[in-house]
Structure 1
Amino acid sequence: MNALLESILDAHGGLQRWKEAQTIHAEGSIGGMLWSLRGQEGILATADATVDVQEQRLVFDGFTGPGLRGLYTPDRVAIERRDGDVVVERRAPRAAFEGQGPETPWDELHALYFAGYAVWNYLTTPYLLTRPGVVVEEVEPWLEADEDWRRLRVTFPQTLTTHATEQVFYYNAAGLLRRHDYAADVLGSTPAAHFSEQHVRASGLVFPTHRFVVPIEEDGHAAPEPVLITIDWADISVA
């Protein structure tokens, strides 16, 4: 295993603890300009997410209304009643983004797919980087606000649903994730910097509880605005 990735895993609870984890439950709020641009403002203002750690599956309880839930898997998204009765679903959901422009309106299933795979990725990182077919390489460090952050360039296989094939993760001296760069395919591949702060420990694993995403300028530095996405978790637990 890459030496930097090994130290990062240790800082986030250790590989063995991640292998033992079955679900992560996070409650909070997801906002930012993106949702209003896509006609879905407030859809996740109250977010209640349960992630399966060992496979790509996520459920948003209360998605779009009381008694409903949003189910994400790579090949299907659905809004269901809690008894499993399907209200609406979409197969091959990534294909539904083809041909969209930067302000093309989304329906609720577009929002569910994007938020579903993104939150699954975020909550399972750095364990995500150990999955079969993922290639990691340490690249030159980055100076951010007088801190030297070590960086991993990560290449993802087609078997994992994520923002883009190549992404870069930045870690501070304590081995904690501070920044994550990507150009999300479903958003037109515009480069973005995703910052992570306010880390907490839950059942032995470590998670950032405040995240925000902004555009990247031509010199590689993050623009101060607009804030495209915010994620704030008030509670995280692991089972």
Structure 2
Amino acid sequence: MTDLLDEIVEAHGGLARWNELETVSARLLQGGAVWGLKGRQGVLDDVRVTAGLHEERVSHHPFGAPGRRSAFTPERVAIETLEGEVLEALEHPRDSFAGHTLETPWTTLQLAYFVGTSMWTYLTQPFSFTLPGFETAELEPWQENGEEWRRLRVIWPEHLATHERVQTVYVGGDGLIRRQDYDVEIMGGSSGAHHFSGYTQVHGISLPTEHRILPRTPDGQVLAEPLLVSIDLSEISFA
């Protein structure tokens, strides 16, 4: 790990504590323009999300109807009953996004894939960056809102699913992540600047409860609108 990654991991609770835990669950409130653009407004406004910490798997429930949940892994996504009966499933779901733009509507399974990979990314970092296959390097610092933020380039391994393999993480003086830049490949490479705030500590782990994703220009400047995605977490628990 880089020195900066070491500092980030310690600021968020430390790898030793993280490795004692297996799953995280939270109430999830979501808003923003993306859901309407994709024809999925209101489907996941208020749900619970559960994610594995050491392998990429996520479930949202209820998913579209009472008694239904999603089951996401990088290579397969499904909609199930709460008893585990599979209602529909898709193997190699990322392939189904070929040719998509920001405005291309999503199927139910494509929505399940997007929110699965998104929430695993957000709920497990920075600890996920220590897994085998990740590469990190510190970049030059960045000035924003009167502060100087250190920056970490993160390259994801190919076997894990996320927005794009190369992302940039911005870190405050306290070691907590303030912003993350990525282009969403499955939305035609749409550029986003993801801001994190409202940090709280649960079971010794510090994580943000407020997420706001805005458009980003090619030179890294953030546009004030439209608000692409808002995410608010509460009732967080680890097991």
CA distance in 2, matches of 1:140, 1:128: 22
CA distance in 2, matches of 1:106, 1:207: 29
Q: Is the 8 A contact 2:32 2:227 kept in 1?
A: yes
Q: Is the 8 A contact 2:102 2:190 kept in 1?
A: no
Shift of 1:101: 2.4
Alpha-carbon displacement from aligned partner over 1:88-121 (angstroms, at most 9, x marks no partner)? 1111110110112221111111111000011011
The unaligned stretches of length 5 or more in structure 1 are: none
Aligned to 2:156: 156
SS in 2 for 1:7: helix
Which 4+ runs in 1 deviate beyond 4 A? none
Q: How many residues of Structure 1 are paired with residues of Structure 2 in the alignment?
A: 239
- Identity of matched residues, %: 41
Shift of 1:130: 0.6
CA distance in 2, matches of 1:134, 1:221: 26
Aligned to 1:16: 16
Aligned to 1:140: 140
CA distance in 2, matches of 1:37, 1:192: 15
SS in 1 for 2:19: helix
Shift of 1:220: 1.4
1:225 is matched by which residue type in structure 2? Answer: E
SS in 2 for 1:227: coil
Q: Is the 8 A contact 2:140 2:150 kept in 1?
A: yes
Shift of 1:190: 2.0
Shift of 1:160: 1.4
Aligned to 1:95: 95
Shift of 1:219: 3.0
1:165 is matched by which residue type in structure 2? Answer: R
Shift of 1:152: 0.1
Aligned to 1:114: 114
Aligned to 2:58: 58
Matches within 5 A, 1:66-215: 66-215=66-215
2:155 is matched by which residue type in structure 1? Answer: T
CA distance in 1, matches of 2:3, 2:218: 30
1:25 is matched by which residue type in structure 2? Answer: S
Q: Is the 8 A contact 2:22 2:53 kept in 1?
A: yes
Alpha-carbon displacement from aligned partner over 1:102-158 (angstroms, at most 9, x marks no partner)? 211111111110000110110000011111111100000111100111100111110
CA distance in 2, matches of 1:72, 1:31: 21
SS in 2 for 1:115: helix
CA distance in 1, matches of 2:176, 2:91: 36
SS in 1 for 2:4: helix
CA distance in 2, matches of 1:79, 1:181: 30
CA distance in 2, matches of 1:82, 1:176: 36
When the two structures are superposed, what TM-score results if normalisation uses the length of structure 2?
0.98
When the two structures are superposed, what TM-score results if normalisation uses the length of structure 1?
0.98
Shift of 1:203: 0.5
Q: CA RMSD in A?
A: 0.9
Shift of 1:71: 0.8
CA distance in 2, matches of 1:122, 1:30: 14
Shift of 1:206: 0.8
